[in-house]
Structure 1
Amino acid sequence: MLLNPTFLRLNRIPLILVLSSVLFYASFAYDLMRTDYVKLIGLYVVLFFLFYKLLQVLKHNIKVLTYLAFGFRVIFILAIPNLSQDFYRFIWDGRMILEGINPYLFTVESFISQGEFPVAQAQELRTGMGDLNASHFTNYPPINQLCFTIAALFAGKSILGSAIVMRLLIIAADFGTLYFGKKLLEKLNIPVHHIFWYILNPFIIIELTGNLHFEGVMIFFLVWSLYLLHVGKWQFAAVVLALSISVKLIPLIFLPLFFQWFMKRNDKKKEVSTALNLTRLIGFYILVGITTLLLFAPFYSAEFINNYSQTVALWFQNFEFNGSIYYIAREIGYTFRGYNEIAIIGKTTPIIVVLFILIITFFRKNKTTVELITAMLLALSFYYFTTTTVHPWYVATLLILSVFTRYKFPLVWSFVIILSYLAYMHIDNADKSEKLWVIALEYVIVYSVFLFEIFKKNKTIIN
């Protein structure tokens, strides 16, 4: 027999938890309609409970947790994402590049409206991505585009095949995050099993592996860069950080925070002059800048600059979804002006975020790696608390940063973020409006935990 009775008896609870997880993940991947709200919430809540219990029971068995984390991902291999349409645009962009067409210069609609079909399955991809995605220029940076191109190279005429290739790339990135995350946790004397609050989390498995969001690739480079920085390889860390920025632009928000890490941290091995520290800081920024520019260079043109800047600006001044403080400011603004509050608030918010980041850059201790990562967590949290749009998968970056800190509110957010889908999916209905009570419930929970952690006296990292 493959499994003897003694083994089954001694491991009854873990086996039940694992088997249940497999069944619920399979149902989520292959038997869930995005509009079936009750089933969506039910599956997610149960999967999160099973995840918590598995980590509680097996936290000292890193090997088994690793097998489970990637075993659960394998369940999604043949699935078409059921909570996001973005992957259709990913496939379009990759196939455009293989055709020798710069994807930053044309909208999808500019081809389809003229009856032109520049890539395989063009009409099917256009229908899948929807009107919003098709009518705007792409905003995905070059390393992200490279991933799309790899998918097009290996599966140029199959939507499912392209999804499989992209999914394998995201899973490979998760392997990298696990590897460097464990090494960094060991260096920081933090329990290694903390990495599984990210790697085994059903939110990460569903949103990144399942729905094909490339935050996972960005996070891999970010964690790798932080590890390299911690061990003193700052030049290599700068290049890898640029790779992270070239997947998703969000790590740009962290750049000012490196100031104290370079200028004020204590090197136990030797005394370093202020001039040398400043030279290293400037060198770090130059390397990040040059590498990022070189990665964008193949797509460069004046038209590219215009299109890309316009598309990025849209996120601040046109789109609204799952906001918190922004929605409150919007309601207050309506009492004075009564219209188009996003155009005004959207221009103000980036200024407030920059001021906040500068404050924690110069007035908060960021000399150690843990302090630096904590500053990153606080800076990005402030940005998400104030921005107009917070898609569920954005929380993934907060979650990985929290692994190296004492803060656990991103873990709570990764659980309650599923509520945003209730508001999100109502947009498909006739009223075209979010259900604000759902969003209010989400943020009441998140802010309550956040404020508790900010003000609690116990500053130790939870085991």
Structure 2
Amino acid sequence: MIKSLKLHKIPLLLCLTAAVFYWSFAYDLNREDFPKLITLYAGLFFLSFKVIQLLKTRFWLLAGIALIFRLIFILALPNLSQDFYRFIWDGRLLANGINPYLSTPDLLMKSAHFGSISEAQELVNGMGNLSASNYTNYPPLNQLIFAVAGWISGNSILFSVLIFRFFIVLSEVGILVFGRKLLKQLELPEYYIFWFLLNPFVIIECTGNLHFESVMGFFILLSFYFLWKQKWIISAIVLGLSVSVKLLPLMFLPLFLKFFSNNKNTSESSENRSFAAQISANLNDLKTIRWTNLLSYYTIVMLIVILGFLPFYNSAFLANFSKSIGLWFQKFEFNASIYYVIRWIGFQIKGYNIIADTGRILPVATFIIILIISLFRKIRSLKSLISGCVFALCFYFLLSTTVHPWYILTPLLLSIFTTYRFPIVWSFVAMLSYYAYGNGDFQENLWLITLEYVVVIGFAITEVFFPKKLSFSLFS
């Protein structure tokens, strides 16, 4: 024991320092204090980076450290996000037999059901006016987790938080297990999974702030695992469950087009073909697609999603849910990149914010880009499919009007199974967006947003087009 401590004294010292930083982040940080927030985070990122480098051959020791860091947050209420109040609200509605999709918290507070929701006023005040005045947009499997907390937590907000954390940490254990299996099959080092699990971005945003991207990510990985095992029916069911946590994986569906192809020959390099020959080869690939299997896969995914929503359905449900989803494209704006450039151009030409028009166009542009990736990228192996998902997500976020930091969690997770590391860089600089919380009028610093995206896009371009210029890998 003493010999082991001496052998690992430097990593142990780094871990103890990180634990102190996490404690400060969890219990002694106000989100308005941006200098402290970014300093703690930068320190945690460096410490985690060094711990992984020093202990990469000690898989289960790293796993234990990852768990201990999460347990530090066990009694802390989230301090960077107030979304958890809405989670508790939806869960308590379900526990009282009330459909959460049919009314906004503001309206429900004025109804006869107001008295049946414990701590209603505290929850509404906590979630803020923006959330309280809009319909819920959380899919059914997410709602089921909220409901479990509503049924067994009684009147305790902290107990509800503990239940949410249990599901998130349990999902991350699943990511550890199945992520390790996938890394083995893809002939990648097993410790790569800790670039996700020991990343302070993941620990803070999921375990700390209770965002359920880890739950969705677990189902995505499990779906890909069954896809590798050639159990595509089970894979489709599990992918449907991931969509029932967050709708985001729906954008992966076009990428399966060539994966369900009989043509698995990837020996001929596209660099040796003319552009016309590449187009012809891609069109010929469409003739080899097993359309019955592909369409069956799509059908199963959508059926799982529909069945999840079915208990909540009535005439008002679709209108309310669609309205809530639409807000993210046509009303809200935060930490955007390309959209902010378009918005500036709109102000110069039109003299006003053109988000209502742009918010309708950008999703179409995203779909076209994903379709191009599906048609012209060689997605015939699991590794290439995951790479395609990473790029689809990143293009989607680059064209989005709203990119909250925790959105990056999904491309971050999937990038671990590819050769690309720019999502890890993004997970570091995305925290710059929290500057907006440091002032009373919630104004973003566009210089910091510009820095974030210059760094991410610059690193991504270098990785994709000039990989030889990266003579060393920071994350190998």
Q: Which interval holds the TM-score relative to the shorter structure?
A: over 0.9
DSSP-derived class of the 1:418 partner: helix
Structure 1 window deviating more from structure 2 (375-384 vs 259-268): it is 259-268
Q: 1:14 aligns with which of 8, 11, 15?
A: 11
Deviation at 1:433, TM superposition (A): 2.6
Whether the aligned pair in 2 keeps the contact of 1:117 and 1:123 (CA below 8 Å) is no
Equivalent-residue separation in structure 2 for 1:368 and 1:8 (angstroms): 43
- List gaps (5 residues or longer) in structure 2: 267-285
Contact 1:85 1:129 in 2 (8 A): yes
Letter of the 1:318 partner, please give it: K
Which residue of the other structure, out of 292, 295, 298, is the alignment partner of 1:279?
292
Displacement after TM superposition at 1:111 (Å): 2.0
Q: State the match for 1:95 in structure 2.
A: 92
For the pair 1:453 / 2:463, whether they are aligned, the reply is yes
1:384 match: 397
1:437 and 1:419 map into 2 onto residues whose CA distance is: 10
How far apart are 1:308 and its partner, in Å? 0.3
* Offset from partner CA, 1:124-172 (integer Å, 9 cap, x none): 0001000000000000000000110111122121000100110111000
Counterpart-to-counterpart distance in 1, 2:440 and 2:93: 32
Please say if residues 111 and 118 of structure 1, whose CA atoms lie closer than 8 Å, have aligned partners that are also in contact.
no
Whole-Å separation in 2 of the counterparts to 1:111 and 1:243: 29
Query: What is the distance in 1 between the residues matched to 2:130 and 2:262?
Result: 46
Shift of 1:274: 7.0
> Which AA in structure 2 matches 1:449?
F
Matched, 1:302 2:315: yes
Q: Structure 2-normalised TM-score?
A: 0.92
Look up the match of 1:215: 213
- Could you list the per-position Cα deviations for residues 348-387 of structure 1 after superposition, in whole angstroms to 9, with x for gaps in the alignment? 1011001101111111111111111111111110000011
- 2:175 aligns with 177
Which residue in the other structure is 2:440 paired with? 429
Q: 1:200-279 residue pairs with structure 2 within 5 A? A: 200-266=198-264, 277-279=290-292
User: How many angstroms apart in 2 are the aligned matches of 1:8 and 1:63?
Assistant: 16
Deviation at 1:457, TM superposition (A): 4.0
**2:105 corresponds to which residue?**
108
The two structures, once aligned, show a CA RMSD in angstroms of 1.8
Structure 1 residue 275 displacement after superposition = 7.9
Deviations 1:371-404 (A, max 9, x none): 1111111111000001100001000001011001
Residues 1:339 and 2:336 are matched in the alignment: no
Displacement of 1:340 in angstroms is: 2.8
TM-score by length of 1: 0.95
Runs of 5+ in structure 1 lacking a partner?
A: none
1:35 to partner: Cα distance: 0.9
Aligned length: 453
The residue matched to 2:290 in structure 1 has which SS?
helix
Q: Does 1:393 align with 2:422?
A: no
**Quick one: which amino acid aligns to residue 50 of structure 1?**
L
Q: State the secondary structure of the residue aligned to 1:302.
A: coil
What residue is the counterpart of 1:82 in the other structure? 79
CA–CA separation in structure 2 for the residues paired with 1:124 and 1:288: 38
1:367 aligns with 2:380: yes
CA contact 1:95–1:156 (8 Å) conserved in 2: no
Q: Which residue of 1 aligns with 2:53?
A: 56
1:67 and 2:82 matched: no
User: Secondary structure of 1:136's match?
Assistant: coil
Per-residue CA deviations over 1:178-233 (Å, capped at 9, x if unaligned) read 11111011111111111110011100000000000011100000000011101101
- Report the equivalent of 2:342: 329
Tell whether the 8 Å contact from 1:174 to 1:217 is kept in structure 2 after alignment: yes
Deviation (angstroms), 1:10: 2.1
Alignment partner of 2:184 out of 168, 183, 186: 186
Measured in 2, the distance between the counterparts of 1:258 and 1:241 equals 12
1:265: Cα distance to partner? Answer: 4.8
Given the superposition, is the C-alpha separation of residues 236 and 274 from structure 1 closer, same or farther in structure 2, using an over 3 Å criterion?
farther
In structure 2, distance between residues paired with 1:78 and 1:451: 42
User: Sequence identity, in percent?
Assistant: 49
